[in-house]
Amino acid sequence: MSALARKSALRLAAIAAASIALIGASTFLGETHIAFDDIFGAQPSVVFWQLRVPRSLLAAAAGAALSIGGVLFQSLFRNPLATPYTLGIDTGASLGAAVAFLSGVSGIWSLARIGDVEFGVARLSVFAFIGAMAALMVVLFMARLRGGQDITHLLLAGVCVSYMSAAGIPLVMLLSNRPITNDIVIWTMGSLEKASADALAGMVQICCIAALVLGYGVYHHRAVDLLSMGDDLAASRGVAVRRTVWTTALLVGVLTAVTVANCGPIGFISLMVPHAARFIVGPHTLPRLIASALLGGAFLALCEGLTRTVGPRVVPVGVVTNLLGAAFFFFLLARSRR
């Protein structure tokens, strides 16, 4: 192992240890103090095991998934500001969720029951996933109508679908009453407030797809690195450019759809975390993917824990990530000016 590879491995090991510690610490954050002895006592804390742990695990899975997508899309589009939301998947999911609120959809589809805990899939998440996948399919279809630069067509198609979906959300609000409108607004902020057994099911769904996309990225990391330098250079080095672009876009699109369907459109994670990973482990795709997954999971879990400390009404976690993301890019702007 070279000195550079050994250095990256040590940094990744340190990031992994710190991320696990932060995710564990996030479960203790909240308005109600829970001592460590109360977790495994004769009467384990119901708040801890049925509320905080599912939410922290779901947040960690969502943060890791969005960060993985951010790394791949920034390389794919050769743009440090690209995110999985570039394809309009978040607005498609928001429109699907808005339709679900308007239709009065609630509850979960039960899949299994263990003791008093029921595991299932939230009906709202199903509607949001359908909206997200519909947006993704429209983007891919529009991008394939004509030949040429796949990246350019994907980007323009994503912008078109994003605007169309965004126009449908206020239309649904106009057709609904005020309580439903409030629910739609909170959901579009990115919220994990509905923390119950369906949060564990959402975490499992996100983890399965995220593992697939991460494995794909690790296996094709060289091709992704070459694509970030240009299509012509990648093609001259033996990369199947068209197939890699479309496969990456499809996999990241599905991962984003599943994540947004369960958590809402949480902003800035997929934009901010890959930059932090680049600062720590360098620009190459392989270490950035692993570091981003670890950092993104820990960061969103910690942000979700902080939202429980502000008072009786939980603040949507998207508000916290947007504030921290804006501060992060103000810092980058000031640093670049120097």
Q: Tell me how far apart the alpha carbons of residues 246 and 152 are, in angstroms, rounded to a whole number.
A: 12
pTM value is 0.88
Nearest to residue 125, comparing CAs of 178, 187, 52, 83? Answer: 187
Task: Determine the residue type at 317.
Answer: V
- Residue 307: the pLDDT is 86
Cα–Cα dist 244/252, whole Å: 12
For the chain, what's the residue count? 338
- End-to-end distance of the chain based on CA atoms, in angstroms? 37
Q: How many CB atoms lie within 10 A of CB 153?
A: 18
Q: Which residues pair with 110 in a beta bridge?
A: 120
Q: Residue-wise pLDDT tens for the chain (338 aa)? A: 567 678 888 889 999 999 999 999 888 887 777 777 777 765 667 777 778 888 899 999 999 999 999 999 998 888 888 888 888 888 998 899 888 888 877 666 666 665 555 566 777 888 889 999 999 888 888 877 755 456 777 888 888 888 988 888 888 888 887 777 888 888 888 877 654 447 777 888 899 999 999 999 999 999 999 988 888 888 888 888 888 888 998 899 899 988 988 888 888 899 899 999 998 998 899 999 999 999 999 999 999 888 888 766 667 888 889 888 888 878 877 776 55
Secondary structure E strands in the chain: 108-114, 117-122
Query: Which residues neighbour 239 within 8 Å (Cβ) at sequence distance 6 or greater?
Result: 223, 226, 227
328 alpha-carbon distance from chain centroid:
18
Written as one letter, the residue type at 221 is: H
Q: Is 104 helix (H, G, I), strand (E, B) or coil?
A: coil
Write down the pLDDT at residue 80: 83
Residue that has been written with the tokens 């901010």 in this structure: 272
Q: Which residue has the tokens 């996100």?
A: 206
**Structural domains of the chain, with CATH:** 52-337 (1.10.3470.10)
